[in-house]
A and B are shown apart, each in its own frame.
Chain A
Amino acid sequence: MATESPAVPSGPAAPSFPIARHAFRRFYTNYTARTVLQAIVTIWAVITFTFFLIRLMPGNPVEVYVDFLVNQQNMTYDEAYSRAASQFRFDPNVSLVTQYVEYMGQLLRGDLGLSITSSGTRVIDQIARFLPWTIFSVGLGLLISFTLGVILGTIMAYKRNTAIDHALSFLASVLSAVPNYIWGLFIILVLGVQLNLFSVGGLRGNYDPSLQPGFTLEFIGSVLKHAFLPVLIYVIGSIGGWMLNMRNSTVSTLGEDYVNVARARGLTSSRILLAYVGRNAALPMFTLLAINIGFIIGGSVIIEELFVYKGIGSFLFWSITQRDYTSMQGVFLIITISVVVSNLLADLLYSRLDPRVRVSGGK
């Protein structure tokens, strides 16, 4: 008598070996492992996509350097090409597939390669030189705008439909509608050049050129002073979004039954705000924050250029204009990893905070 096979859950085809099948099923149904695997696959896919995409851009490092030599050094085209071709360790005629295989091999060995235009300079050294400045300035800006945005958003929600709410909503809408580089230009040209409220040249760069880097109060003060305007722009450019999001989230939470029950139980307003409303309303904000942390690195290009603040955004801009493929790939890799990892952390964090998201594969 034939026996009926037990129902097999739908999903990917399992390996035929029982142990391997078991391990695969365990892996597939483990939320954390699956999420990590997805993150790795995402990073690989983005690396591959950007690798080919940047090579589809018009021009190449040799052509850019040829143009420079022709226009700036007044060489003939042939002279310029001969020089550019010999100086760069880059051959535009090598097939893309060969370049890709070579690049992936390097990556697997943990090597980001050498810069094309700055011969002999390791891409990892370039990134290490510029990345900390961006993490510092954009990270500080994000932290300040998030904190202020959450506080102001909560106030707006509690004072909804009052003059304060209307005024702050209007302000938040204006701030979030105007791109941050417009604020940057406004501050430089109007406050700096026209009104002379600060020295345009004096605040350029990452710190006072007359100081030597070191753990001294003077140097730290200079770093903070030079980061002030970029950080201010990041805050101005993003605080509106935090305010409006927090307001909406808080208003929504205020209408929940458990808040009404808390009020009925006679709990104090501050207790309700902190223990019932604040925590729940801020939950989606933390997810947004985690996602935004990933964009710290990529979101600074124009502002760093405006203030000649030499971070990774400014470096990326230079690499793109020079078509320095290896440097660009290095920065894109870091951006990709930071976005994917922050999303991963948000996923894992949220799955801890709210078990409902861990719903698939038998969990």
Chain B
Amino acid sequence: MQKKLVLFFVCLLLTISFGAVSAQDETTINIAWPYQLPPSGHFNSFATDVINLGGNTYQDLMEPPLAVYMWGQGEYEGMLAESFGFDENNNYVVTLKEGITWSDGTPVTAEDVVTTFNTGYLIGMPVWAYIDSVEAVDDLTASFTMGAPSPLAEYRLLTTQIRPTSVYGDFAERAKPLIEAGAASGDAEFDALLTELTSFRPETYVSAGPYVMLPENVSAANVVLVKNEGGLNADIVNFDRVVAWNGETADVTPLVLDGQLWYATHGFPPATEQAFVDAGLDILRGPSYSGPALYLNHSVPPFDRPEVRQALAYAIDREQNGFVSLGESGIANECMCGFSDNLTELWLPEETLDTLNTYDYDPEQAAAILEGIGFTRGDDGVWMDDQGNRMAFELTFPSEFLDWAAAAENVTQQLNDFGFEITARGVQFQQHPQDIYDSNFQMAIRNWGTGSPFPGQSFLEPYNRYNGQGELAGEGVGGGMRFNPDVTYSGGELNVYDASIASGEGLDLEAQQALVDQLAVSFNELLPVIPLWERYGNNPLNREFLDAPAGDDPIYTNSGADHFMPYLIMTGGVAPAGS
């Protein structure tokens, strides 16, 4: 009896051991994204608060887009789409890859593409500004009738994540007549269907990607994605499971340091980044195509004078400003042309690049410019304009954004050393943009640029959002920085707002580049805002656990909807270390 008992326990131990070994054999990648638990969080990816691990990031693992834009090469790589492009009538045709199935067993077809876009009409998918309708030509081919074909429209279309007809097909069916009738928010039938859609709570995620999220794997600590064997690239990915830890920057920092989180998209303060480096972690620094800029209220003299703005640009050491704000991830903007240095070679001709003024730090040049327009220094060294007004201003910044706050403090110090009298004041981060929209500021730190491969989108930040349109969602008086969009520069006259919009319209790429060229040169000369530096990522990567391309690989220039990490996971670009 005793022997039997011993044998039983030995068998039990062996069973447990084998179980543990097989569990260890399962390869797992540890990433992070904040989400809410049910009932707030849910699986309807057309509604807010969905547990999708970032709409532009890890959602691709479950709902892949048609294609990913490779920012380094300036071309697309098909994901669900096998082929795509404009036809002879300038309509857009997409053919899907064969043999991909949703996690509920149904095949991925062109009908899913139709469902996605028709349902997306209800929630205001921006792509509907460019397309009139979409229909399935056959099982795998969808055709879009383009109202306004353009490279930007193509980008919006291809980077849309595809949803299953088996879940949302009914909504798409009911949306179709509304689309044909041109219904919009405010129409009773439209609003009723939209309310029904956003209140819809599917019981589970239905995935066409290599992984699927099961409801029972959603917990407060993390979400575990398991392999979706019929999904896109399921035979290529190097991990059986994806563990996505729940939390914002402060929550995930201990996990990174503890080696339980191997890669984080979050932005970390320089001191935390140093702790990561000390712990032996690699830091990935992909560009964000955006960063802080010094905004000036053009209704406050003398900021309406381009010479003053140029002098301010010369008086600020942008390299120092970037470094003190974000260490190695704060890279001084070089072209000073309104969009990222990483896009200039794709969009601007060589001769334009040669002529752009880089406004290298030169306080003597700044002083000469000011003296040239009649400015003088007072007895205490503070500048006064030609009317005798003392150059004393307030500079506001969002106090919770640590890097922007550091940038503001440093700009203040540098300009005060130069002879201005600037007082920096932190404003609660949700109030601060409202103040700018309301024109309630003198000098401020807000963003230049945006994470889009099309420069026209970047120009719309200063020329649209912060110049009069930004009051839409608030109750302010509007006006923004009050910059007159009709400008005169060395190339002639230009309405910078219209040109920004037009630079994303049509299929004549050369004409678009010519507009971007005009916008870049006029921005560089007039400096409606003064870009300080571009924010690069400082994402920790633990190479002890994860094999990934070297930090200088062009894949890390991918941003926005084409984030590099989901792409690398889905294409087998990352693998367990040493595998």
Contacts and interface: CB of A to CB of B under 8 A. Distances in A.
Contacts of A31: none
Given A58-B431, A76-B460, A118-B49, A92 B124 contact: no
Nearest to A75: B126
A200 interface: yes
Interface in B414-460: 428, 430-431, 433-434, 450-452, 457, 460
Contacts of A120: 47, 195, 198-201
A118 B469 contact: no
A81 B472 contact: yes
B220 A204 contact: yes
Interface residues of B, number: 65
B433 A119 contact: no
A39 B394 CA distance: 47
B244 to A, nearest CB: 11
Given A86-B194, A205-B221, A126 B40 contact: yes
A89 interface: yes
A192 B254 contact: yes
Interface in B194-249: 194-195, 198-201, 216-217, 219-222, 224, 245-247
Interface stretch (B31-39, B304-312, B349-357): B31-39
A216 interface: no
B94 to A, nearest CB: 21
A65 B48 contact: yes
A84 interface: yes
B464 A129 contact: no
A87 interface: yes
Interface stretch (B3-11, B79-87, B255-263): B255-263
B418 to A, nearest CB: 32
B40 A118 contact: yes
Contact of A205 (B194, B222, B250, B451): B222
B360 interface: no
B296 interface: no
Report, as a range, how many residues of chain A touch the other chain. Answer: 35 or more
Contacts of B194: 86-87
A148 B474 CA distance: 52
A165 interface: no
A230 to B, nearest CB: 12
Contacts of A85: 185, 472-473
Contacts of A75: 126
B170 to A, nearest CB: 16
Interface string B542-566: 0000000000000000001100000
A194 to B, nearest CB: 9
A58 B430 contact: yes
A201 B216 contact: no
Given A58-B431, A209-B224, A199 B258 contact: yes
Interface in A51-97: 57-60, 62-67, 70, 72-79, 81-89, 92-93
B54 interface: yes
Q: Which of A118, A121, A305 gathers most chain B CB within 10 Å?
A: A118
B55 interface: yes
Contact of A201 (B54, B195, B221): B221
B482 interface: no
Given A87-B123, A125-B39, A318-B36, A72 B54 contact: yes
A100 to B, nearest CB: 17
A308 B123 contact: no
Contacts of B48: 65, 87-88, 117-119
B225 to A, nearest CB: 12
Interface string B516-534: 0000000000000000000
Contacts of B199: 119-120
Given A64-B430, A89-B195, A119-B47, A77 B185 contact: no
A309 interface: yes
B469 A83 contact: no
Contacts of A115: 40, 49
Nearest to A66: B473
Given A72-B55, A92-B474, A118-B36, A305 B251 contact: yes
Nearest to A309: B220
B532 to A, nearest CB: 18
B137 to A, nearest CB: 28
A216 B295 CA distance: 60
Contact of B258 (A118, A192, A318): A192
Nearest to B125: A83
Nearest to B216: A212
A336 interface: no
Contacts of A325: none
Contact of A74 (B221, B251, B255, B451): B451
B358 interface: no
B220 A308 contact: yes
Interface of B: 36-42, 47-49, 54-56, 122-126, 129, 185, 194-195, 198-201, 216-217, 219-222, 224, 245-247, 250-251, 254-255, 257-258, 260-261, 428, 430-431, 433-434, 450-452, 457, 460-461, 464-465, 469-470, 472-475, 560-561
The 4 closest A-B pairs by CB, nearest first: A120-B199, A205-B221, A58-B431, A59-B430
Given A72-B54, A205-B220, A209-B224, 8 more contacts: A76-B126, A76-B450, A81-B472, A117-B48, A118-B39, A118-B42, A193-B258, A209-B222
Interface of A: 57-60, 62-67, 70, 72-79, 81-89, 92-93, 115, 117-122, 125-126, 129, 188-189, 192-193, 196, 199-201, 204-207, 209, 212, 305-306, 308-310, 315, 318, 323, 327
18 contacts: A57-B430, A58-B434, A77-B470, A83-B123, A83-B124, A83-B126, A85-B472, A86-B185, A115-B40, A115-B49, A119-B48, A193-B258, A201-B258, A201-B260, A204-B222, A205-B220, A209-B219, A212-B216
